[in-house]
A and B are shown apart, each in its own frame.
Chain A
Amino acid sequence: MRPSRNARSTHVPLALQERGWRRGSKRRPRPLEVLSWMALLILLALSLLPFVMMLLLSLKTNADIFTRFWGLPQPARWDFYRDAAVALKGYLLNTLIVTAVVVPGVLLFSSLSGYALARLSFRGRDGVFALILALLVVPGILTLIPTYALVQSMGLLNTRWALILPYLAGGQVLGVVLCRTFFASLPDELFEAMRLDGAGDVQIYRHLALPLSLPTLATIAIMTTLGIYNDYIWPLVTISDSSLQTFTVGVTRFAGEFNLDYGPTLAGYVIGSLPLIALFAIGMRAFVQGVTSGALKA
């Protein structure tokens, strides 16, 4: 995978530099650019309006919403956030537990298999990889009902395993493909050098391949977490006990606890968004760091 060309503001794409960045702001803006700015700002305002209103209304009582919809909260009910956090805590914890088991497992198994498929030579290697690649075209809609029947026959319905095992398997399809592609792209000299120093396959995997693949692993971790966090149908059909239920299903039900008070409900939506925002804030940095670290340029 390649880093976006203007991932950072200091890194100006060449095409842009040629097309006016150097000309700077001395020139008067062209009328066309003013139009662009106006259109962009209107579209941006429309895009963000729902989220701004979510923040604003999350602090208001129903009476405040009904009488002064657009006004600032009077007074701001920060306690709604505490109420919503209490109501959602269990669901969020369940999602966290499942994610904390699945993501490390996906990373470990994907990198092991990716390493074997890219760097070890054995009979049937390409066949095994083709079999895994083929799974990329099998859509969830085909396997939903059979997987449900399978999990049911294993007696795993309404347990955490009903979520963990299929996620662990499903996350590896893309994980193995990405890891194999990355390991295959590394220069052979690196591996030869370690081999000459007497390192075995396990040591090469552990001390060479794994550290180099951190950006790839970060990408896989982000995508797996997103998949688990946003999945609605699978936990809905496999988990009936609400003490085991995940956030995405739980958040559709918790509103009932507040007698149709909009404020705490919207506060809950904000709280439920925080983990993903944190993930992007942390994950993106690791991702960019991994890409820009010296090892890859060697």
Chain B
Amino acid sequence: MSRRRTSIVIVALMLAPTLVLLALFNYYPAVLGLSRAFTRWETGEAPQWIGVGNFVAMWHDEFLRLSLRNLFILLIANVLKTLTMPLLVAELLMSLRSPRWQYILRTAFILPMVVPGMVTMLLWSFIYDGSVGLLNQLLEAVGMGALARSWLGESGTALWAIIGIGFPWAGGLALLIYLAGLNQISGDVWDSCQVDGVSGLRRVWYVDLPLLLPQVRLLVILTLIGTLQDFGSILILTGGGPGLATHVPALHMYFQAFRFGHLGYAAAIGLTLFVAIFVLSLLNLLLGRRLERLI
């Protein structure tokens, strides 16, 4: 294509709104987030450079250590959730012979996606409600009323209740991504599986899963990044409690900044979470490529 240089004035005018806004509200805070993590910075005071002081304090922070345990449980649980139920439903949908019913059921499964996230959270806090919660009512209906309790209010069950949100975890983005991946596997591949007598779980394990590796990688990294950052739902459901039963590092950051005014310390926690996300993304990229080459 023959390219003429465009007048720099037009280019500048077209790019200016984007660049000014991004510089102010995205670049500047990102740089600030990196630098202020190394300062003692309390609300309403000027930041003072203290080097790695905040990170030393993090190392000795008992609350943070306890919250890491919860984070690990959540990370493992959420990855397992994305890797199992949506894949199962996608495979079941693909096994239906009528494309029309396949389409109708797929739509029904992703229907909960159009409900606002906050409404879903509040609905689940009602489901776990100690008095008229749906879960307790279900247990009573099947004669297990003795198990009824305030699921989010007891430290023994609160974290598991949070993991249980969205049960049976079948729909959503993961289902759509798996279906798109399965649709890309050519019919020939499955036909030759049938000829060779490879069917059911064996086909899923030896044929579908290796071919779905790109989708699996994407979903795993999205889940890890999402879980590391999310604290809004926990803030709404339990506030990290009871005690520290559902406390996580991101929530710790929020409390340090907006409840106690330790902005510098909170920025250090934020920076650490960013580094964790960055390293995980890098690992996903490098290990994933190697895995794909092996297959």
By a beta-carbon cutoff of 8 Å, the part of chain A in contact with chain B is 4-6, 8-9, 12-21, 23, 25, 29, 32-33, 36-37, 39-40, 43-44, 46-51, 53-54, 65-66, 69-70, 108-110, 112-113, 115-117, 120-122, 128, 132, 135, 137-150, 165-166, 168-170, 172-173, 176, 188, 191-192, 201-202, 205, 229-230, 232-233, 237, 247-248, 251-252, 262, 266, 269, 272-273, 276-277, 280
Q: Among B70-78, B118-126, B144-152, which stretch is in contact with chain A?
A: B118-126
Taking chain A's interface residues, is the majority helix, strand, or loop, or is none over half, making it mixed? Answer: helix
- Is B294 an interface residue when CB atoms closer than 8 A count as contact? no
Q: Which residues of A contact B281 (CB under 8 A)?
A: 137
Min CB distance, A60 to chain B, in Å? 10
Q: Are B32 and A121 in contact (CB under 8 A)?
A: no
Contact B14 A116 (CB under 8 A): yes
Which residues of B in the span 102-143 have a Cβ within 8 Å of any Cβ on A? Answer: 102-105, 108-109, 111-112, 114-119, 122-124, 126-127, 132, 134, 137, 141
Residues of A within 8 A of B263 (CB): 145, 149
Q: Which 6 A-B pairs have the closest CB atoms?
A: A146-B32, A15-B187, A169-B25, A146-B29, A169-B21, A18-B187
Which of B8, B10, B105 meets A201, CB within 8 Å? B10
Inter-subunit contact A112/B18 (CB<8 Å): yes
The residues of A that contact B24 with a CB separation of less than 8 Å are 150, 165, 169
C-beta contact mask, B204-241 vs A, less than 8 Å → 1, else 0? 00000000000000000000010011011001100000
Distance (whole angstroms) from the CB of A88 to the closest CB of chain B: 11
When chains A and B are docked, how far (Å) is the Cα of A248 from the Cα of B117? 9
Nearest CB in chain B: distance from A64 CB, A? 11
Q: Could you name 12 residue pairs across A and B whose Cβ atoms are closer than 8 Å?
A: A15-B183, A18-B187, A43-B109, A47-B112, A50-B123, A116-B15, A132-B22, A135-B27, A145-B266, A146-B267, A169-B26, A233-B235
Q: Which of A66, A115, A150 contacts B132 (CB 8 A)?
A: A66
Q: Are A9 and B100 in contact (CB under 8 A)?
A: yes
Whether A46 contacts B168 by the Cβ 8 Å rule is yes
Determine how close the nearest CB of chain A comes to the CB of B279; give it in whole angstroms: 12
Contacts of B277 in A (CB 8 A): 139, 141
> Are B112 and A116 in touch, CB under 8 angstroms?
no
Interface pair B119/A273, CB less than 8 Å apart: yes
Interface residues of B in 52-80 (CB under 8 A from A): none
Q: Are B132 and A69 in contact (CB under 8 A)?
A: yes
Which residue of chain B has its CB nearest to the CB of A251? B118
Q: How distant is the Cα of A18 from the Cα of B89 in the complex, in angstroms?
A: 21
A-B contact count (CB 8 A): 265
Does B274 touch A at the CB level, under 8 Å?
Answer: yes
Q: A51-B115, A115-B14, A116-B10 are in contact. List 20 more A-B contacts (CB 8 A).
A: A12-B99, A14-B187, A15-B183, A19-B190, A25-B97, A33-B97, A43-B170, A47-B112, A113-B14, A113-B19, A116-B15, A120-B11, A120-B14, A144-B253, A150-B24, A205-B14, A230-B118, A251-B118, A277-B114, A280-B114
For A33, give its contact among B95, B115, B186, B271 (CB under 8 Å).
B95
A143 to B93, Cβ gap below 8 A?
A: no
Q: Is B38 engaged at the interface, CB distance under 8 Å to the other chain? A: no
Q: How far is the CB of B224 from chain A (nearest CB, A)?
A: 11
Is A69's CB under 8 angstroms from B137's CB?
yes
- Report yes or no: B122 in contact with A269, Cβ–Cβ below 8 A: yes
In the assembled complex, the CB of A86 is this many whole angstroms from the nearest CB of chain B, namely 18
Contact (Cβ within 8 A) B32 A172:
no
Query: Of B8, B27, B30, B191, which is within 8 A of A18 by CB?
Result: B191
Instruction: Please give, as numbers and ranges, the residues of chain A lying within 8 Å of B117 by CB-CB distance.
Output: 230, 232, 248
Residues of A with C-beta under 8 A to B14 = 112-113, 115-116, 120, 205
Known: A138-B26, A169-B22. A145 touches B267 (CB 8 A): yes
> In the complex, what distance in Å separates the CA atom of A44 from the CA atom of B108?
7
Beyond A33-B95, A44-B108, A230-B118, whether A70 also contacts B137 by CB under 8 A is yes
Q: B95–A142 contact, CB under 8 A?
A: no
- Chain A residue nearest to B171 (CB atoms) is A47
Instruction: Tell me the chain B residues, 249-279 only, with Cβ under 8 Å from chain A.
Output: 250, 253-254, 257-258, 263, 266-267, 270-271, 273-274, 277-278
Question: Could you tell me if B115 and A276 are in contact, using CB atoms closer than 8 angstroms?
Answer: yes
Asked if residues A139 and B273 are in contact (CB atoms below 8 Å), the reply is yes
Contact, CB under 8 Å: B132 / A65: yes
A124 to B30, CA, bound (A): 22
Chain A residues near B85 (CB-CB < 8 A): 43
| Residue B290 interfacial (CB < 8 Å) | no
Given the known A-B contacts A9-B103, A15-B183, are A50 and B95 also in contact in the complex, defined by CB atoms under 8 Å? no
A148 to B28, CA, bound (A): 12
Given contacts A113-B18, A146-B32, A146-B267, contact A6 B96 (CB under 8 A): no
B5 touches A122 (CB 8 A): yes
A122 to chain B, nearest CB (A): 5
Residues of A within 8 A of B30 (CB): 135, 138, 142-143, 146
The chain A residue sitting closest to B267, CB to CB, is A145
Q: A32-B200, A141-B250 are in contact. Are A43 and B89 (CB under 8 A)?
A: yes
Q: B253 contacts which chain A residues (CB < 8 A)? A: 141, 144-145
Given A172-B18, A273-B119, does the pair A70, B141 have CB atoms closer than 8 Å?
Answer: yes
